[in-house]
Structure 1
Amino acid sequence: MTELRQRMIEDLRLRNVAENTLTCYVRAVRQYAEFFGRSPDRLDAKHLRQYLLHLLEVQKVAQGTYNQKVAALRFFYRETLKKPAYVEGVCFTRKERKLPVVLSHYEIRRFLEALDSLKSRAILMTCYGAGLRISEALSLGVGDIDSERMMIRVRQGKGRKDRYVALPKTLLIVLREYWKAAKPVDCLFPGRDGVKPLTRQSVVNACHRAMKAAGINKNVSPHTMRHSFATHLLEEGADVRTIQVLLGHRSVTTTALYTHVSQATIRKTKSPLDRLNEEPAATA
């Protein structure tokens, strides 16, 4: 199993996949093997079918989780074992399009004030102030904050792309306060060892504590900050394509989702019913 695991890691690295994707794929294959208690190279299409049905009908995993495991197992059988027939016909489930949770400006202020550490506040203010994914914020280095140009360099975001986003003055003040207190050397938000970045789960836990302390009855996660950033920009009149670039979306269709949660956009949209009274009456 160790040799097989190493071969899969090498296959993934040869295709230059993101480190998070590599970790998730290897974990998915390990869990698949553990379910049957045998090496995954001894499992065939029947085992795969049984396992996937178990995920859907017994564990009732989220659709995103299920699709990620399917992607990992398809890669494993096609690329590492060279047995593509085993995954022929194995498809992804269609994901439900749910509207993202968005906080109001007032809720954002209450939430940030309720965070119990300066580091957590600096991280989540970065997610909200610059629209970063939590993985992007945690990957920031000290040198990625360019206070002269008022820019933040996002290295290897989703899709393995670099991009720049604006550095808000308010965020710069907080980051400087945090830097003076924590003195990070390389990684901007290091974990306990001072070298590797803080874990995502640590930030998730901080979100849950702040959510309760602030009395916010919404399911707040680090990604809620990014959703709120995009929605608030849209409500303030920013162009959808500009928001697309700031968020690092590949397609503007993804960004357009925020038009469905922008209250300002909804309120400005006039119903055709109201236009009936604006039309001049027809003359005989």
Structure 2
Amino acid sequence: MTIGNLSPASIVSYTRSVSKLSIFHELSPRDMELDQVLDFLVYLKEEEGLQWRTLKLYVGGLRYYYQEIVGSIDLAGKIPYPKEKPSLPQIMSREELAQLFSGCLNLKHRVLFRLLYSSGLRRMELLNLKLRDIDTKDGKRRIRVNQGKGGKDRYTVLSERVLEELRIYFKQCRPKDYLFNGQRKGSPMSRGALRHALDSAVKRSGLKRVVTPHLLRHCFASHALEEGMNIKTLQYLLGHQSIQTTLIYLHVSEIPLSKAFSPLDRWEEDV
């Protein structure tokens, strides 16, 4: 399968979708009708019990295959996404985050997780960060995200406190090329190593909950809204294509009324 501007994780996911469809019907997907594709999706939901998010990945892979590879735009458009809505993210409190950071085994892991939370990066965006992506020129503090989800570049925020911690980390660890190296200098940290480091920090901290890299991204979004960040600004920082995705965080954020104001009071001050 020739796949264009997709992340490695998407390539694996999409390839798996097409492969399982072929195995299910013992037939090349190119020779299938829409009904056969729908039968496969019903099987995944009813027999394998796949949830909304996993089914969505399968549908995305199959739609991409039929539209971009086979060239059957009509068939691709008739493969429906599952109707269920995603559950709201379970946000960690600020106290729980502080507890997590205190459980980090070393400086590298502490800086890594604080950067993940404070910038709202996705897991692979963090692991793919290179030293040159930390932009502090001309008094700026920002992180360049190269080829994020959907192949788009963007910038996100760099915490002043985390920047100081990064400078200490750099002096002690001397990373090469990538901001967070794996076992070999110049190579990126692996997803498995990140997962192990986070699991260890959770265990050492005494937290009694599941913590994932993506949960830290959820926390960034929710807490940013609570502190008064504009929803459009947050959409850009998170790299969301649709504002509807960002609006989910309005339902889980505790935005205090003390931050509310009347626009009349604001503009009449200048009259």
**TM-score bucket of the superposed structures, by smaller chain:** 0.7 to 0.9
Residue 203 of structure 1, aligned match among 184, 187, 194? 194
Task: Check the 8 A contact 2:53/2:86 in 1, yes or no.
Answer: no
Instruction: Pick closer, same or farther for the CA change 1:191–1:51 going to 2, 3 Å.
Output: farther
Report whether the alignment pairs 1:107 with 2:99: no
SS at match of 1:263: coil
Residue 225 of structure 2 aligns with an amino acid whose one-letter code is: L
Q: Give the Cα–Cα distance (whole angstroms) in 2 for the partners of residues 82 and 250 of structure 1.
A: 24
Q: Which residue of 2 aligns with 1:238?
A: 229
SS at match of 2:153: strand
Q: How many residues align structurally? A: 258
Instruction: Pick closer, same or farther for the CA change 1:171–1:20 going to 2, 3 Å.
Output: same
Q: Give the Cα–Cα distance (whole angstroms) in 2 for the partners of residues 70 and 22 of structure 1.
A: 14
Q: Which residue of 2 aligns with 1:274?
A: none
Q: Which residue of 1 aligns with 2:265?
A: none
Q: Which residue of 2 aligns with 1:162?
A: 153
SS at match of 2:183: coil
Residue 57 of structure 2, aligned match among 42, 58, 68? 68
Residue 12 of structure 2, aligned match among 19, 23, 30? 23
Q: What is the Cα deviation at residue 46 of structure 1?
A: 5.7
Task: Check the 8 A contact 2:64/2:76 in 1, yes or no.
Answer: no
Q: Which residue of 2 aligns with 1:131?
A: 120
Report whether the alignment pairs 1:183 with 2:174: yes
Instruction: Pick closer, same or farther for the CA change 1:199–1:40 going to 2, 3 Å.
Output: farther
Q: Give the Cα–Cα distance (whole angstroms) in 1 for the partners of residues 48 and 36 of structure 2.
A: 16
- List alignment gaps of at least 5 residues for structure 2: 261-271
Task: Check the 8 A contact 2:177/2:187 in 1, yes or no.
Answer: no
Instruction: Pick closer, same or farther for the CA change 1:23–1:153 going to 2, 3 Å.
Output: same
Residue 56 of structure 1, aligned match among 45, 49, 67? 45
TM-score by length of structure 2 reads: 0.80
Q: Give the Cα–Cα distance (whole angstroms) in 2 for the partners of residues 193 and 36 of structure 1.
A: 44
Residue 185 of structure 1 aligns with an amino acid whose one-letter code is: K
Q: Give the Cα–Cα distance (whole angstroms) in 2 for the partners of residues 175 and 37 of structure 1.
A: 53
Superposed CA RMSD in Å reads 2.9
Q: Give the Cα–Cα distance (whole angstroms) in 2 for the partners of residues 200 and 62 of structure 1.
A: 23
Residue 261 of structure 1 aligns with an amino acid whose one-letter code is: V
Residue 112 of structure 1 aligns with an amino acid whose one-letter code is: F
Q: What is the Cα deviation at residue 251 of structure 1?
A: 3.4
Percent identity among equivalent residues?
A: 34
Task: Check the 8 A contact 1:240/1:256 in 2, yes or no.
Answer: yes
Residue 183 of structure 1 aligns with an amino acid whose one-letter code is: R
Q: Give the Cα–Cα distance (whole angstroms) in 1 for the partners of residues 133 and 182 of structure 2.
A: 18
Q: What is the Cα deviation at residue 221 of structure 1?
A: 1.0
Report whether the alignment pairs 1:142 with 2:157: no
Residue 247 of structure 2 aligns with an amino acid whose one-letter code is: A
Task: Check the 8 A contact 2:178/2:187 in 1, yes or no.
Answer: yes
- List alignment gaps of at least 5 residues for structure 1: 1-7, 270-284
Task: Check the 8 A contact 2:231/2:247 in 1, yes or no.
Answer: yes
